[in-house]
Structures are given as C-alpha cells and as structure tokens.
Amino acid sequence: MSLIEIISGVEAREATLTVFDPDPSVAESLAEHFADRNLRVVAEDPTEGPTGYAVLARDGEFVTATAIDDLLPDRADDGDDTAGAVADAEGAAGEGEAAAPRRVGQPILDHLDETLFTSYSRADMVAASREIEDRAWRVGDGELHAGFQTLDVLSGESNTYDRLGEKERLDVHAYAAAEGDAPNTEQYEVHIGRTAEIRETWFVAYDGGGFDGAKCVLLAEEREPGRFYGFWSYDPDTVDRVIDYLTDRYWESEHPGEGDATV
C-alpha cells in the first residue's frame, strides 16, 4: 500500500445515484451539484412505476432512497406537486413543527463521507489544511499528522505547527522530503521520508482524539506542477488507514540532521 494507492482506492469507491424522473434536466442538475463528490449520477427512464425519486447505491448495494423534491428544494418551491414514492412513505411533518432550511442534496450528502477534488492550487490546499488543523486545536487531544512535501514548505508552516504542538495532549507529526532546512523546533516531531510519495503528496490527518466523529483527513497528489488531485474524508476507517500507513512506514525515518534524502 502507498499514499497514491489510498487515493486511487477512494476514487474507485464511487457511489451511484440513479435518478427516476421523466425530466432529464433533473439528473443533469444533480450531477452538477455533486461534481465534487465521489458520486456518479445516472438517469433511468421511468417507463413504468413511480417517478420523482432517486436511489443511492455503493458497490451494487442499496444505501438510501429519497424524493427528488428533497434533493432539489427549489424544484418543490416552484410548485411541482410530485412528491414521489419515497416522500409518500415518509409521511407529512406535524403542523406545529417549524420547517428547517433544506440544503440541496442533504439526504444524499448524509451518506457521502468523502469529497474528491481536482486541480486544487497550493492556496486551496493550505485553506483545506487549516480546517483540519483547527479541528485538532479545538479538540486538543490525539494525533495530528501532516505532510507538506519538502522541508522548505514545512518551514513556512513552522509557526502554525509550533502553536499546535504546544497543546499538551496533542501529538503533532510532520513529514517531508529532505529539500531545504528543517525547522528548529521541539514542539512537534519531524519525519524525513526517503520515498518519492512524500515529495509528491500533501496530507493532513487527525485521529479525532478518541472520537470517531472528529476524525478527518486531507490527502492529495501533485499530478501537475502546483495542481493537486485527491480527497478529504470524515470516514473513520479511511482516516485510520492513512494514519496507520504513515506510522508504520515513516516513524522509523531519519530525523533532521541525519543526512536523509528522497529517492
């Protein structure tokens, strides 16, 4: 296994949303909305039977079904009276209940733990990394693992990671290829990798500090100069897989000053 293979594995776990609706624009709208998700949207011609609903499946197995009007609230607001078979089964809400704002695609998003992205810039990667770093800071416990390709890049993040490393119960580990000078710090552990994948990937993974609901990971490969392709995930198994790989593969790596090099 490698970090690149983990990315490929997530890409391969694509879910399928089958749309049963006579209007072909519905599937097109949903495909556009879910473009950054690991999801393929297909339109099924409903020649007979109920319409106005969609079915989510993964690896050929049923996950959930929902009414189109629940996926596209604007469609229902425009006066479409078709609630679909799924909405009929769910029943109407009580008259005294306040209607909560509906997010487009929410019934499906609840079942999608992973988001794919293409052509992220370095600025995009930094912004995405900050979200995970902030979560680790707020929880203040557990392990945070981050790889910024080279020591030069890591040195530019040194102030941020010194601050994170000051959290007493948060163990911070940084990974980099031996290009540039290592940051002079005692606040976090620096692991210098000897593999090309450390130079070619960018990642930030937080183990949740004992809470599965707080686990998250960002992992991407630089497939073009300055452009990153990968995913972020809140799936505990995916987070554990990345962290287990890093600890098994790189915790025996040389430390700054030991003459390591990337091969």
* pLDDT of 104 above 70: no
Average pLDDT over residues 103-127: 79
Do 3-109 and 114-250 agree at the fold level?
no
- Measured between alpha carbons, how far is residue 216 from residues 102, 114, 124, 136 in Å? 25, 10, 17, 9
> What is the assigned CATH class of domain 114-250?
alpha beta
- pTM score: 0.73
Any idea where the domains of the chain sit in the sequence?
Answer: 3-109, 114-250
Residue 196: the pLDDT is 93
Average pLDDT over residues 192-208: 94
Place of tokens 């499906």: 108
* pLDDT of 84 above 60: no
Residue 254: the pLDDT is 54
Q: How far apart are CA 23 and CA 187, in angstroms?
A: 58
Average pLDDT over residues 34-60: 84
* pLDDT of 218 above 90: yes
Give 198 or 82, the one with higher predicted confidence.
198
Residue 91: the pLDDT is 44
* pLDDT of 32 above 90: no
* pLDDT of 110 above 80: no
Burial class (CB in 10 A: 0-12, 13-18, 19+), 174: buried
**Residues 6 or more apart whose Cβ sits within 8 Å of residue 191:** 173, 174, 175, 176, 250, 251, 253, 255
For residue 217, the one-letter residue type is V
Residue 194: the pLDDT is 81
Label the pairing between strands 227-233 and 114-120.
Answer: antiparallel
| CATH architecture designation of domain 3-109 | 3-Layer(aba) Sandwich (3.40)
Highest-pLDDT range among 72-81, 178-187, 213-222:
213-222
